[in-house]
Amino acid sequence: PPRRPDLITPRRSARRHARRHQPTTTPPRHHALTHQPTHAPGTSFLKLDALLSANPPDVAALSAQFAITDVAAAADNSTVGALMSTTTSELFFATSAMSVLETWLKLCVPAIEDGNNFGVGIVMEAAKMCSDARGELEKLQASVPDYYKERGAAYAAIAPKTTTSTTESTSKADDKSTKDGTLEATAKEGASSSSETKTTGGTASPDQISHVVALDVMWYLKLYAACDRVRSLYAAVCDFLEKNEEKIQAPKGERGGGMSMY
């Protein structure tokens, strides 16, 4: 059968991290969640599991951390931005991994013949699981950029306003004089301009400021949940493949099934 993509069973790692994590009474400060994902589902699961387990979200702590005291300095949120980058990478690599697994499983399907198709059904079920996971991940990936649209509109209502005014003036004068009994006229013209730029604080209400903070908190949680969903899909798919490894490698028994290499 085709060579199986690199898989590392995530179940024992998940239990180990669950035992290790204990809730704390002091609200944590949420740092930037970043790491480099890999194409191997099992390896990526272990790294993502460690990252999420070490940074459990706390709504009260996030609200305090994202509170706006200086509107001008709140044009962006670096913590949410870092998690945005991590989530985008995780979704991309998870989508790619599910696509690879789906292709590999389809290549495991043996030639069509009558009878003894139970193992083939297992392979097709695994392929469908990967296909469904890929579709779900693609939808999550498409929704991620909406953060910038929503926050940009909310911040525009409280952002300091900058105005520039320009003043231009023109003057004319005619000088008349008599020289050697002849009247002479001289025209003089001048122009000047000046500009002034003013930056004034917005007239934002407390609710408008709270709206920006609430968006940051909500999107932090949504991005964290997206990464958590990636972790769950890795665990479910790897677990199914491990439990049904023999059927996938030989859908029709010792006669084998799909291509000899992939």
pLDDT tens digits for 113-162? 777 678 889 999 999 999 999 999 999 999 999 999 999 999 999 998 87
The predicted structure's pLDDT at residue 114? 73
Helix (H, G, I), strand (E, B) or coil at 214: helix
Residue 74 neighbours by CB under 8 Å, 6+ apart = 68, 155, 212
Could you count the other beta carbons within 10 Å of the beta carbon of residue 78?
8
The predicted structure's pLDDT at residue 261? 34
Residue type, 204: A
Q: Read off the tokens for 39.
A: 């194409």
CB distance 201 to 174 below 8 Å:
no
The predicted structure's pLDDT at residue 156? 92
The predicted model scores a pTM of 0.71
Q: Which of 35, 39, 146 is nearest to 92 (CA)?
A: 39
| Average pLDDT, consecutive stretches of 10 residues, N- to C-terminus, the chain (262 residues) | 56 48 52 56 82 91 95 93 94 95 91 78 94 97 96 93 72 66 66 65 84 97 96 94 90 59 33
Q: Which of 228, 223, 234 is nearest to 43 (CA)?
A: 234
pLDDT tens digits for range 213-240: 999 999 999 999 999 999 999 999 999 9
Helix (H, G, I), strand (E, B) or coil at 36: coil
Q: Read off the tokens for 85.
A: 């980058």
The predicted structure's pLDDT at residue 47? 86
CB distance 194 to 166 below 8 Å:
yes
The predicted structure's pLDDT at residue 23? 43
Beta strands in the chain (DSSP E): 161-179, 182-200
**Residue in the block written with tokens 């996938």:** 248
The predicted structure's pLDDT at residue 75? 93
Q: What is the CA radius of gyration of the chain?
A: 32
CA triple 226-231-235, angle to 5 deg = 145
Q: Is 130 exposed, middle or buried (0-12, 13-18, 19+ CB in 10 A)?
A: buried
CA triple 34-39-45, angle to 5 deg = 60
